[in-house]
Structure 1
Amino acid sequence: MSTTTHPVAATERIPVEIHPSSAEASAAVAAEIAQLIRTKRAAGGNAVLGLATGSTPTGVYDELIRLHREEGLSFKGVKTFNLDEYVPMAPDALQSYRRFMDEHLFDHVDFDEGDTHVPDGLLPVEDTAAGCARYEEQIQEAGGLDLQLLGIGRTGHIGFNEPGSGKDSRTRLIWLDRLTRADAASDFFGAENVPRRAITMGVGTIMEAKRIVLMAWGEGKAPVVAAAVEGPETPAVAASYLQTHPNATFVLDEAASAGLTRTRCPWLVGSVDWTPRRQRSAAVWLAQRAGKPLLKLTDEDYNESGLQELVAEHGPAYDVNLRVFRELQRTITGWPGGKPSERRRAGDVQREGDDVFPKRILIFSPHPDDDVISMGGTLIRLVDQGHEVHVAYQVSGNIAVFDADAVRFADFYSELAGTRGSSQEGVLKEVVDEVDAKEPGAVDGELLKSIKQIIRRGECRAAARLCGLPTDRLHFLDLPFYETGKVRKKPLSREDVDLTAALLERIKPHQVYAAGDLSDPHGTHRVCLAAVMQACERLKDEDWFEQTAVWLYRGAWQEWLPEQVDMAVPLSPAELLKKRQAIFKHESQKDRAPYPGTDEREFWERAEERNRNTARLYDRLGLAEYEAIEAFVQWSPGQEIG
């Protein structure tokens, strides 16, 4: 494990810590909070914490709960003030930040009654200004914030301080930005249900905290983190104001640091260890910057772009170019499961395990459509080439089905039951009554959840049939962490890992494919990947696992960069079309997905654009030109994902 602290380049205008994973970063932040609480108590006082909501700080809260239960950390006397709350919002509503804090922290430790504060989302508009002023007074009466936790929004907002918020702004009622409401749409089952107003601490209030820790996880946050850390201080990115705070730090995982100069091109900030992977990264970066194919880069191109050390130690330029070109060329294969011996030719790239043919393949799909969205072309090719392909759908995906679709299927079932003389006509009435009585974002009843689950399973089977995959090789794990009926899920548990490991042991696959795309806005991909990785760690010493290769795919939210890719599977126009048709079988997610995230396009459009872009990048680097490419990175137990 390695953690980098404080600025390492003139480009960084604020201290930054980079941890290998969000779990390790969360543990470090929780340890700092615990030390603050103990230090203040030893001095006869109590800590005052500013807290945040959303998926980012939940790991910190989980670790604080563990410290309370296992190491005796007490929260007696500690006072907390949350950043914000929607308006109007009842404290017990599903989307309430008061309820979020109760469920993720307050109810699990020993805070004194009345010491936790969240803005009142039910204040009448005419009383809001006075309520906000009183919130400021309460912070001052408590002695001011000792430590403020922050996340960062897509627009660079901290709290609900939208672009344009002043540096001296105080706690106030604000009108939510369109993008912020779009990002929150999935919490409310549709953008139309998101409140248009919120109460938020102001930037000035936040800047008065003695210590500020801003956390960000995942590659999706990398661009805005880079803007806040390396860009100018500007009202357009409220987080950039932290550049002038005397004791603020950005705490990132590797993925969220990807846009920083020190991560993206560290040779621009100092000497580096020129590993083969770093040479590839530098050459690809330079080729894109110079607008040249790899084999046309010159010594001058390297020297004029800060890469003198690379050519001095490993050059001349043509030698570096040729090594990187050949490495990238070796990633390309039309046989992701390996070639049978009778089809091999001289010069074919041979990977470990290629002597086994056909292979048992296990594809883990976090949601019921991630398999075809992210690696549908490769899945089809594996089936066509004769491998025994299995797909494990890790969660049911039932909350991502619109109520109207459930009513439509209940209507179908009710009418079918009537034609067969069945007495099931009451199903439709029960479903319609529940939907009519539901508040936006309310948890589904068991019947409605079951119907939605059946809908998604049926779509999986339809897509499998189109891909030529026998439906008895589909495995519906329904991991327990997901089955809350709400957008917010439970933490990964031993039961989730046990179910994953049991399937691995039963199939004993030669290849495992799992989603390495961690930008899923509600973290399901991240938890599902953790389940697979922990199961593999558990099984790594089994004899059968020695010949198991684990490949990570992306595509639904982000894509691997060329310098990261270990296997690139090219797709023909016909294969890309068949992949699209497989995605279309997931009709409940077609036209308007309930959880689109920050990209408003349909998933098939996103996937095709990313696959085509990868092919274009390979083409521009001077490699073969393809219609599209699905990219994969190989993972081994003990390896971090960056």
Structure 2
Amino acid sequence: MLSNYPLSKVENQFLKESGTPTITTLIPYLTVDNFPKLGLLTACRFLEWAAQNPEGVISLPTGKTPEFFIKWTKFLLENWDSPKGKEIRKKYDMMDVKKPELSGLHFVQIDEFYPISSTQKNSFFHYVNNYYIEGFGLDPKKALLINSDEIPLADNLSFKEVFPNLTVDLSLRFREPTTQLEQLQQTSIYLIDKWCGEYEQKIRDKGGIGFFLGGIGPDGHIAFNTRGSHIYSVTRLTETNFETQAVAAGDLGGIEISANRLVITIGLDTIVYNPDAVAIIIAAGEAKAPIVKNSLEIPMDNLYPATVLQKLKNGRFYVTKGAASKLEDSVDNFYKSGPWTIEKTEKAIIDLCKKLKTYGHRLKLEDLKNDKYTSLIPNLSEDTVKEIMERVVDKLNRGTTKEKNEVLLHTGPHHDDISLGILPHVTNQLQENSNQAHFSVLTSGFTAVTNSFVINTLNETKNLLDQGRIQMVNFEDFFQIGYKLKMDKDVYHYLTNVASEQPEQRLRGLCHRVVRALVGIYKIESVTALREKINDVISILRNSYDGEKNPATIQKLKGMIREFEEELVWAHFGVQVKNVHHLRLGFYTGDIFTEQPDKDRDVEPIVDLFRKINPTKISLTLDPEGSGPDTHYKVLQATAEAVRKWGKEKDLSNLRIIGYRNVWFKFEPHEANVIVPVSLGDIAVMEDSFANCYLSQVNASFPSYAHNGKFSTIAKRTWVNQLNDIQLLLGKNYFYLHETAKVRSSHGLIFFKDMDVEEFLEHARELEKSIEGML
């Protein structure tokens, strides 16, 4: 199977565990069940290599991707001979591996933003020093790092003097400078280029990188070698593309900054210079599946930078099953392993419709027999397609059934998750008066609010105070109790001015809520103190670097802005503020690696909410791989534990769990058991409410790599694409000739999974198992 690519002992054990029967890709790969397990695999392989190469050269990634690699590496080093450590080492054939001493290793930093101060906590220089040099006990004298403050520039000036707006114009490499400043900048760019060449030579003088670990971007970039980078590229100062900028926006405080920041990166040829190098790319989640497929199955091509690993006998991809899901091997394995299921039949037929670009009722038995996968369907007959069509119609019927007398608790990890995931379904539920609806966002969500948005809002608040247009501050008891009252009035005032198209008055509604938040957070007792505090917060934010972690009080202020936005959305449907619950779970801290949920701090508030509301249905985002934003799977863990705990107090046999996905993850039709029609009106409500209520998100400072704009646009496209898949199976006439107006008006579809408690807990349990014992 892999005769040309000898695997290490660790890799062999993980290969056996994965159950992958055949690997035919141009670069070998290993699959694991979820994101935390990916970290364990990578940590075991790294420590195995380090034990064999105590003075080797390593290059390790930054950002959120290596979270569990770092945690598992530290855990194993600290627990090498503990019962848990021995259990892991025995399981993965590491009992004869001597505990490695990492201080002899030589470290090479992969990349860095330019320019960025090395003292900033969001610089990769700081990350490397914190998590690798100090965290792994490496020798700083043996580290080759990228420190922007130390790269020589013209006249020995600092980068802030040469590039005062922190923007580097690379056209100066090829054109004449027009000002004295541009002359300095041109000379400096040439000096940076020289420094990059010297950095490359230092790596090669060490014999090249012996162990490389990197993530892969949505466009296929490794390090900052974006799509189209030369296969023989070396260390250089370069621009990035939108997908890379979108991914970096979280580090730098918004796309506004990352779009204008250059990078220094090692090249593709740097990575593969050492022919004996172990080079590993890790990828998690179905969103990475297309680029993983192209990177592994296409011959070496600069459109897919990771294909350069084909040069290495020890080049590898370590991926979750979701990330591997589009590989031909994985698709084969899906169909050929285990018993045949109705879900396999459904997937095979829908995929055949897409492959042949034909409607389900036009598929012939001959088409099914000639296809690689539909030919495997047991008892294949003329009725097979009809049976699947009926199955999908049943899912649609479930999605149009009117729910009554339900107590609904819709939850989301972040603000806007519920709206982007299942708003049309929620709208249907809210139209029935016998239903009682509650909404809860489980984290504060402050990281999605930029400093500039808060500064602008506070300046407007100060102007309104000066004009006497925030009259509530003059009420006698406002600073004692009044600031806590009439929250619904703020919401109503805001939405009234959305309707009357008065943006200034709408903004005034936001400023009212900001005043209430400031008084509550800072215990303000007078108008004078309020003005002073507004000035203080503005000053702190203006003196913060982009992407800097805010003080806890400002985090809370940002979070309360997001909470107000969430209340506005549900007030569209008459939901009162008291039915929108803000849990602010404590694991959400704004650090690059947030803590695992704590059973007392993070689980008990959810259980209390269950007790208070006594829901009959709970919705939540379903990310069983743990491969998306870490908030998603940590909220999933906390919610699952809360359900378990609540289940010890009462009978939950009638409780239903609704697992939905939104812009980060998508259900395949065969994975969902409920399909909800979405009308143009539903889409308009979702887009309008997003644009009018989520003010901090409209400018899309932290966009998806898939779209340079609002997340609501991605949600709409997802719903429309899901309709296209089902229309291919059922035919368009099924929809526009349907007896039900709701189905006739379908221009999109929502997929979700309706589960009982045991089924839900089984999804969560698999993720939990991969973290047990580490933390």
Give the TM-score normalised by the residue count of structure 1.
Answer: 0.86
Residue 177 (str. 1) matches residue 241 (str. 2): yes
- Distance in 1 separating the partners of 2:456 and 2:401: 41
Report the alpha carbon displacement of residue 213 of structure 1 after superposing the two structures with TM. 1.2
C-alpha RMSD of the superposition: 3.1
Report the alpha carbon displacement of residue 107 of structure 1 after superposing the two structures with TM. 3.4
- The within-5 A match list for 1:618-633 is 618-622=726-730, 624-625=734-735, 626-633=746-753
- Distance in 2 separating the partners of 1:471 and 1:169: 56
- Distance in 2 separating the partners of 1:279 and 1:368: 37
- Summarize the Cα distance change of 1:102–1:551 in structure 2 as closer, same or farther, 3 Å threshold: farther
- Distance in 2 separating the partners of 1:469 and 1:105: 49
% same residue: 20
Cross-structure match for 2:268:
203
Structure 1 counterpart of 2:352, from 286, 308, 312: 286
Residue 33 (str. 1) matches residue 157 (str. 2): no
- The within-5 A match list for 1:463-482 is 463-482=569-588
Q: Secondary structure at the match of 2:138?
A: coil
Cross-structure match for 1:441:
547
- Summarize the Cα distance change of 1:169–1:540 in structure 2 as closer, same or farther, 3 Å threshold: farther
My pick for the range that moved more, 117-126 or 596-605, is 117-126
- The within-5 A match list for 1:367-382 is 367-382=414-429
Cα deviations by residue, 1:462-488 (Å, 9 ceiling, x for unpaired):
21211232322222121223222x6x3
- The within-5 A match list for 1:492-641 is 492-494=596-598, 495-504=601-610, 506-516=612-622, 522-536=629-643, 543-598=650-705, 599-622=707-730, 624-625=734-735, 626-634=746-754, 636-639=760-763
| AA partner of residue 373 (structure 2) | L
My pick for the range that moved more, 497-506 or 560-569, is 497-506
Report the alpha carbon displacement of residue 62 of structure 1 after superposing the two structures with TM. 1.3
Residue 298 (str. 1) matches residue 364 (str. 2): yes
Residue 8 (str. 1) matches residue 112 (str. 2): no
- The within-5 A match list for 1:33-52 is 33-40=46-53, 45-52=54-61
Cross-structure match for 2:35:
22
Cross-structure match for 2:474:
420
- Distance in 2 separating the partners of 1:337 and 1:25: 40
Cross-structure match for 1:345:
none
Residue 260 (str. 1) matches residue 308 (str. 2): no
Q: Secondary structure at the match of 2:618?
A: strand
| AA partner of residue 359 (structure 1) | E
Cross-structure match for 1:347:
none
Cross-structure match for 2:213:
149
- The within-5 A match list for 1:302-321 is 302-307=368-373, 309-311=375-377, 313-316=378-381, 318-321=382-385
Structure 1 counterpart of 2:536, from 412, 418, 430: 430
My pick for the range that moved more, 424-433 or 471-480, is 424-433
- Summarize the Cα distance change of 1:578–1:448 in structure 2 as closer, same or farther, 3 Å threshold: same
Cα deviations by residue, 1:522-549 (Å, 9 ceiling, x for unpaired):
5433433343345446666664333333
Report the alpha carbon displacement of residue 408 of structure 1 after superposing the two structures with TM. 4.7
Residue pair 1:566, 1:633 contacting (<8 A) in 2 also: yes
- Distance in 1 separating the partners of 2:211 and 2:674: 45
| AA partner of residue 461 (structure 2) | F
| AA partner of residue 412 (structure 1) | T
Report the alpha carbon displacement of residue 566 of structure 1 after superposing the two structures with TM. 1.2
Cross-structure match for 1:352:
none
Report the alpha carbon displacement of residue 380 of structure 1 after superposing the two structures with TM. 2.1
- Distance in 2 separating the partners of 1:70 and 1:497: 28
Report the alpha carbon displacement of residue 95 of structure 1 after superposing the two structures with TM. 2.5
Greater share of helix residues, 1 or 2? 2
Cα deviations by residue, 1:411-436 (Å, 9 ceiling, x for unpaired):
43644269627332323322332333
- Distance in 2 separating the partners of 1:512 and 1:419: 39
Report the alpha carbon displacement of residue 19 of structure 1 after superposing the two structures with TM. 1.1
- Summarize the Cα distance change of 1:157–1:406 in structure 2 as closer, same or farther, 3 Å threshold: closer
- Distance in 2 separating the partners of 1:145 and 1:502: 52
Cross-structure match for 2:147:
120
| AA partner of residue 87 (structure 1) | Y
Report the alpha carbon displacement of residue 139 of structure 1 after superposing the two structures with TM. 4.1
Report the alpha carbon displacement of residue 458 of structure 1 after superposing the two structures with TM. 1.3
Structure 1 counterpart of 2:114, from 84, 87, 93: 87
Cross-structure match for 1:59:
68
Cross-structure match for 2:297:
230
Cross-structure match for 2:454:
406
Q: Secondary structure at the match of 1:480?
A: coil
- Distance in 2 separating the partners of 1:126 and 1:580: 47
- Distance in 1 separating the partners of 2:308 and 2:245: 23
- Distance in 2 separating the partners of 1:381 and 1:211: 54
Q: Secondary structure at the match of 1:162?
A: coil
| AA partner of residue 343 (structure 2) | R
| AA partner of residue 63 (structure 2) | G
Structure 1 counterpart of 2:286, from 202, 210, 219: 219
- Distance in 1 separating the partners of 2:21 and 2:200: 32
Give the number of equivalent residue pairs: 615
My pick for the range that moved more, 172-181 or 457-466, is 172-181
My pick for the range that moved more, 475-484 or 128-137, is 128-137
- Distance in 1 separating the partners of 2:21 and 2:701: 40
Report the alpha carbon displacement of residue 96 of structure 1 after superposing the two structures with TM. 0.9
Residue pair 2:227, 2:304 contacting (<8 A) in 1 also: yes
Residue pair 1:294, 1:621 contacting (<8 A) in 2 also: yes
Unmatched segments (≥5 aa) in structure 2: 1-13, 82-98, 153-188, 476-526, 736-745, 768-775
Unmatched segments (≥5 aa) in structure 1: 341-357
Cross-structure match for 2:254:
190
Residue pair 1:6, 1:16 contacting (<8 A) in 2 also: no
Residue pair 2:20, 2:333 contacting (<8 A) in 1 also: no
- Summarize the Cα distance change of 1:392–1:116 in structure 2 as closer, same or farther, 3 Å threshold: farther
Cα deviations by residue, 1:483-520 (Å, 9 ceiling, x for unpaired):
22x6x341323243454455445545332211236899
- Distance in 1 separating the partners of 2:400 and 2:73: 44
Cα deviations by residue, 1:148-194 (Å, 9 ceiling, x for unpaired):
10111222121112333333333333333344234322322233423
- Distance in 2 separating the partners of 1:590 and 1:81: 37
Structure 2 counterpart of 1:276, from 334, 342, 361: 342
- Distance in 1 separating the partners of 2:652 and 2:221: 45
Residue pair 1:367, 1:393 contacting (<8 A) in 2 also: yes
Report the alpha carbon displacement of residue 280 of structure 1 after superposing the two structures with TM. 1.0
- Distance in 2 separating the partners of 1:460 and 1:57: 32
- Summarize the Cα distance change of 1:118–1:633 in structure 2 as closer, same or farther, 3 Å threshold: farther
- Distance in 2 separating the partners of 1:569 and 1:293: 21
- Summarize the Cα distance change of 1:299–1:468 in structure 2 as closer, same or farther, 3 Å threshold: same
- Distance in 2 separating the partners of 1:338 and 1:189: 44
Report the alpha carbon displacement of residue 115 of structure 1 after superposing the two structures with TM. 3.6
Give the number of the structure whose alpha-carbon radius of gyration is greater.
2
Report the alpha carbon displacement of residue 70 of structure 1 after superposing the two structures with TM. 2.9
- Distance in 1 separating the partners of 2:608 and 2:74: 29
Q: Secondary structure at the match of 2:323?
A: helix
- Distance in 2 separating the partners of 1:267 and 1:215: 21
Report the alpha carbon displacement of residue 121 of structure 1 after superposing the two structures with TM. 2.7
Cα deviations by residue, 1:312-352 (Å, 9 ceiling, x for unpaired):
x3211x23212212221221246678745xxxxxxxxxxxx
Give the TM-score normalised by the residue count of structure 2.
Answer: 0.72
Report the alpha carbon displacement of residue 24 of structure 1 after superposing the two structures with TM. 1.1
Report the alpha carbon displacement of residue 387 of structure 1 after superposing the two structures with TM. 2.6
Residue pair 2:214, 2:281 contacting (<8 A) in 1 also: yes
- Distance in 1 separating the partners of 2:644 and 2:41: 23
